Structure 1
Amino acid sequence: MSSFSTSQTFVLPSPPVVVSSTCQQPSMKGYSDSGRGPHAVMVSLPTPGHMNPMLKLAKLLHSKGFQITFVVTESTHHRLRDSLQLDTLDGFRFETVPDVRLVSSSRDWMKYIEEFGVYLRTNFPAHFRDLLTRLKARSTKPVTCVVAGFMSSALHVAEEFGILKLLFWTSSACGFMGTLQIESLITKGYIPLKDEFCLRNGYLETELNWIPGMKGVRLKDITRFVRTTKHGDVLLSLEKEEAEIGYQSWGIILNTFDELESDVITALRHKFPRLYTLGSMSALVDRVASVESNPIHLSQWNDDTDCLGWLDNRKPSSVVYVNFGSITILTPGQLLEFANGLAASGHAFLWIIRPDLVSEESSVLISEFREKTRDRGYLTSWCCQEEVLAHPSVGCFLTHAGWNSVLESIENGIPMLCWPFFAEQPTNCRYLCGEWGIGMEIDSEVKREEVGRLVGEVMGNGEKSVEMRRKALVWKQKAAKAVGIGGGGTSYVNLENLVRDLKEEEIKIKCL
């Protein structure tokens, strides 16, 4: 393969299939729940950023003796069926529920989430109610708890059945606390914005000094959905509801570790006594989960493994890894600004360009860019990010600052360049750059000159870049300590506490 690799033709993922009201179940060949402990039903918003951490949590509970029923929509199961090889795994199964048909373009994730939000309030509760009824009728192990991530309607249905409700907030603790302020922001008159001029006149710099555990945070640092001029904005309302369900839940699970977000976690524990921080969940799975469950993996695109061989031929800490996650959408102009900035930086790069990354059909980069970077650029449509970030050749991560990406970068001691796009990503970016000292932000109006300059700064040997790398290694050590088994790592201890508390609740239920 050439040192510069790119796919000239990207195949768009199929939109969700049309599904009937009858649920077609995956094969249960070889399934057994005999001898298993508590039974957890787990369901998350069907996007990779939510499903993958939920799957990791499922692996952790399964390794501790739980029976797992992992719920996916039929369209998700259709897309991912090749990776759902669970027929012989004792106590771990997938169930499907019908879901929403995507009316809009398959490229428009935000429109899809809006449509899915309507589905959550209308059709989903009945489908999930039917599923719990079937499980109650046929399973020898009653459902102990429902764990939901951005699927509050599942928790409302769980309450109807008298089942314990757990919210798994798959984002950061600071993102969760910020989202919990939406009602106060509306009441105090901060949002909705009076007009779009507020996006440019400095209004977003307004400091919100009343949020517990989040000193110095600004309006621009809160979930991006607050940047709306609409009363009753669909995405803002949906985000608000999904966070506030925590007040009605038995417990809250966060994919973070105590030392990383200590102030805000302390503040959250005053609100939620049963708060379990289990991050970094990827690292905790590696330490704790049974070997048999580790191969379970969900991915919407095929991983390019050749990129790892390309990295093998690069010097240590010499490559910029670029990946904007599974939802971020670039305009063709933004794509070219990033491309020209990377070209001008002079550094080698591995750039993930998803099939649906660009808002228009064409995502072919200009020939001039390809020629300039032929000897130091590798483009591909997807990869195993955890393996890439663990590779010694990677020295910087240009990211959207999604929480999974942030944690995976911290685990590996990689400093970040952040271009937040969606949801709580501005919050994560603010903490990366302002609190933890391991990130630098690219302006939302991305310009090639800034991209080139910041890449050079992070990858260089100046005082700031050296300090960023030092702090990144410190946080890597702290992240490893948090999941340590023998040394009383906080995340490992919290996992043990969660398992103990749920088993105690199961005993109480049996005694009723």
Structure 2
Amino acid sequence: MASNRSSMKHHVVCLPIPTQSHISAMLKLAKLLHHRGLCITFVNTEFNHRRMLDAEGPMFLSDLPFGLQFVAIPDGLPPSQANATQDIVSLCESTRFLMGAPFCTLIGDLNEMAGSGSGLIPPVSCIMADGFMTFCAYPASETFGIPVVNLWTIAACALMGLMHYPKLKEKGLTPPKDYLETTIEWIPGMKNMKLRDMPRFPGATDPDDVVFNFMVDAAARYNKADATIIHTFEALEPDVLNAMSSMASGPVYAVGPFHFLIDRILENEKQMRHIGCSLWKEDVECLRWLDSQKPESVLYINFGSVAFLTSQQLIEFAMGIANSKHPFLWIIRADLVNGDSAILPPEFNEKTKGRAFIVAWCPQEKVLNHPSVRGFLTHCGWNSVTESMSAGVPMLCWPYFSDQQTNCKYACKDWEVGLEIESDVKRDEVERLVKELMEGEKGKHMKKRAMEWKRLAYEATSQHGSSSMNLEKLVRHIISK
């Protein structure tokens, strides 16, 4: 049993980058490692720890199984009571310059507690760091002699794209806005790529852009990890994964989808399965509304935790969705419209009366697996893409920034489960694509393909599937250190 105290001889500290999707993916992996008998310390920032307590309720910390604890460290940013993702530029600077010292202090404190004679929690034996948190993790690793295992919660194809940005610069292909249709054939494991399909950033035309340089510098540290985990599965990205394995100094493990592994492995461990990590309160009324809808009739819309719309983009999406005449469940965060309130036009409310359900946040996995849901309009974040494909749900893709553009290309062209919406949103195009997704021939083909990927993801997480075997290899690797 995972909670057997005597079996916990290895202590993994999990350090996600402080945004919702990365926290969610890291916690799922932490649960899987705890199930294998590893002691887990999960590190949030004080800002996100407060939000998690608000969303999940403070009692969830009092009912944790032995060997799993949540701790918080300061992020160095000004105090805030906002219920929203912090400014991305500030988070990048915090991660690079401000969080390393408190994280080092935390590792020292954990080791001191382990040496105090209690014998309950062992010294830290591994740092499991998000690939974008190496600026904090590597100094602690060097100080205490602890190996770092990196978890990349983005697709292998997106990571490979980030790693080749310096070569784009060498070839004179930056800034990318001038060369979007340029074909790129020299990235290992990636085919039929254009510059428009590479990870993109709003400020990438500026060589000093904070977010762009942060992402590229983090990806450049890929081969320094003792081992690497990528949240994917081998059948989905075989060529890129083979190329990435040859470029790493340690083993590379494709492990995913995490939620399939959770469902299989923790089937009888209700206490572990229900430990949440949402930073927003999840509305469950939407599930009851879905119960009242016809099978495969509803469009689910969610732009994730970081993407923003302009007021005009919101209106164009809204009217396109309204004009499609399909029922829909739309997640509209309070901060979805950057710097303004998300106000929908009166005409939209009149047109959609009786077939719309709008909430601020929801349990996405349950929504996508609901029999009433037919399609997903998404920003193409990697968690959303994997959850949608694992549910057999095809997508309309409106990538916002970063890895989402690469995810979109693969979803639409390689995996054949998506249709792309142009970044310059127009209501007529939105209406046309919603209808195609929900009732057209392309939509039927994408549904068939999504169901095939669902089957392959299920096979990968079966007892002898590639992801299950890679998870076992990962555990053995951590224990061997």
| TM-score grouping bracket, smaller chain normalisation | over 0.9
2:43 to 61, 71, 82: 71
2:295 to 316, 321, 345: 316
Instruction: Specify the alignment match of 2:369 in structure 1.
Output: 390
User: Structure 1 residue 246: deviation in Å?
Assistant: 2.0
Inter-partner Cα distance in structure 2 for 1:482 and 1:92: 27
User: Structure 1 residue 281: deviation in Å?
Assistant: 0.7
Instruction: Specify the alignment match of 1:477 in structure 2.
Output: 455
Determine if the alignment matches structure 1 residue 48 to structure 2 residue 32.
no
% identity of equivalent residues? 43
Instruction: Specify the alignment match of 1:134 in structure 2.
Output: 109
User: Structure 1 residue 287: deviation in Å?
Assistant: 1.1
Inter-partner Cα distance in structure 1 for 2:53 and 2:378: 29
Instruction: Specify the alignment match of 2:314 in structure 1.
Output: 335
Instruction: Specify the alignment match of 1:153 in structure 2.
Output: 135
Deviations 1:286-330 (A, max 9, x none): 111343211111112211111111111111111000000001111
Rate the CA distance shift 1:259–1:418 in 2: closer, same or farther, 3 A. same
Look up the SS of the partner of 1:190 in the other structure: coil
Inter-partner Cα distance in structure 1 for 2:385 and 2:31: 21
Is the 2:203–2:212 contact (alpha carbons within 8 Å) kept by the matching residues of 1?
A: no
Instruction: Specify the alignment match of 1:282 in structure 2.
Output: 259
Determine if the alignment matches structure 1 residue 181 to structure 2 residue 164.
yes
Inter-partner Cα distance in structure 2 for 1:121 and 1:427: 25
Determine if the alignment matches structure 1 residue 265 to structure 2 residue 246.
no
Inter-partner Cα distance in structure 2 for 1:305 and 1:135: 37
Is the 2:303–2:378 contact (alpha carbons within 8 Å) kept by the matching residues of 1?
A: yes
Inter-partner Cα distance in structure 2 for 1:472 and 1:119: 38
Is the 1:40–1:69 contact (alpha carbons within 8 Å) kept by the matching residues of 2?
A: yes
In the TM superposition, 1:498-509 aligns within 5 A as 498-505=474-481
* Farther-moved stretch of structure 1 (114-123 vs 128-137): 114-123
User: Structure 1 residue 190: deviation in Å?
Assistant: 1.6
User: Structure 1 residue 223: deviation in Å?
Assistant: 1.2
Inter-partner Cα distance in structure 1 for 2:164 and 2:225: 18
In the TM superposition, 1:91-490 aligns within 5 A as 91-102=67-78, 112-139=87-114, 140=119, 141-149=122-130, 150-156=132-138, 157-191=140-174, 193=175, 199=177, 203-225=179-201, 228-272=204-248, 273-289=250-266, 290-462=269-441, 464-485=442-463, 488-490=464-466
Look up the SS of the partner of 1:158 in the other structure: helix
Is the 1:257–1:280 contact (alpha carbons within 8 Å) kept by the matching residues of 2?
A: yes
* Farther-moved stretch of structure 1 (324-333 vs 267-276): 267-276
Instruction: Specify the alignment match of 2:53 in structure 1.
Output: 81
Inter-partner Cα distance in structure 2 for 1:78 and 1:47: 13
User: Structure 1 residue 99: deviation in Å?
Assistant: 1.2
User: Structure 1 residue 249: deviation in Å?
Assistant: 0.7
Amino acid in the other structure paired with 2:90: E
Amino acid in the other structure paired with 1:293: M
Is the 2:52–2:279 contact (alpha carbons within 8 Å) kept by the matching residues of 1?
A: yes
* Farther-moved stretch of structure 1 (304-313 vs 94-103): 94-103
Inter-partner Cα distance in structure 1 for 2:98 and 2:372: 48
TM-score, normalising length: structure 2? 0.93
Deviations 1:205-263 (A, max 9, x none): 11111000001111111111286221232111100122222211101111100001111
Look up the SS of the partner of 2:358 in the other structure: strand
Instruction: Specify the alignment match of 2:10 in structure 1.
Output: 38
* Farther-moved stretch of structure 1 (39-48 vs 218-227): 218-227
Is the 2:375–2:394 contact (alpha carbons within 8 Å) kept by the matching residues of 1?
A: yes
* Farther-moved stretch of structure 1 (302-311 vs 435-444): 302-311
Amino acid in the other structure paired with 2:154: S
Inter-partner Cα distance in structure 2 for 1:106 and 1:234: 23
Amino acid in the other structure paired with 1:146: I
Inter-partner Cα distance in structure 2 for 1:279 and 1:128: 28
Amino acid in the other structure paired with 1:120: T
Amino acid in the other structure paired with 2:340: E
Deviations 1:429-487 (A, max 9, x none): 0000000001000000000000000000111142x2221111111111011111011xx
Look up the SS of the partner of 2:273 in the other structure: coil
Look up the SS of the partner of 1:330 in the other structure: coil
RMSD: 1.9
Is the 1:104–1:112 contact (alpha carbons within 8 Å) kept by the matching residues of 2?
A: no
Is the 1:100–1:116 contact (alpha carbons within 8 Å) kept by the matching residues of 2?
A: no
Is the 1:102–1:112 contact (alpha carbons within 8 Å) kept by the matching residues of 2?
A: no
Inter-partner Cα distance in structure 1 for 2:400 and 2:87: 16
Look up the SS of the partner of 2:392 in the other structure: coil
Inter-partner Cα distance in structure 2 for 1:246 and 1:222: 18
User: Structure 1 residue 33: deviation in Å?
Assistant: 5.7
Look up the SS of the partner of 1:225 in the other structure: coil
Rate the CA distance shift 1:105–1:328 in 2: closer, same or farther, 3 A. farther
Deviations 1:265-302 (A, max 9, x none): 11111112511111101111111134321111111221
Would you say how many aligned residue pairs link Structure 1 and Structure 2?
Answer: 464
Inter-partner Cα distance in structure 2 for 1:308 and 1:120: 37
Inter-partner Cα distance in structure 2 for 1:105 and 1:460: 44
Inter-partner Cα distance in structure 2 for 1:118 and 1:373: 43
Amino acid in the other structure paired with 2:105: D
Look up the SS of the partner of 1:42 in the other structure: strand
Is the 2:322–2:352 contact (alpha carbons within 8 Å) kept by the matching residues of 1?
A: yes
Instruction: Specify the alignment match of 1:23 in structure 2.
Output: none
In the TM superposition, 1:486-497 aligns within 5 A as 488-497=464-473
Determine if the alignment matches structure 1 residue 62 to structure 2 residue 62.
no
Rate the CA distance shift 1:204–1:102 in 2: closer, same or farther, 3 A. farther
User: Structure 1 residue 104: deviation in Å?
Assistant: 10
Instruction: Specify the alignment match of 1:26 in structure 2.
Output: none
Inter-partner Cα distance in structure 1 for 2:201 and 2:340: 26
Deviations 1:350-373 (A, max 9, x none): 111011111243222111111111
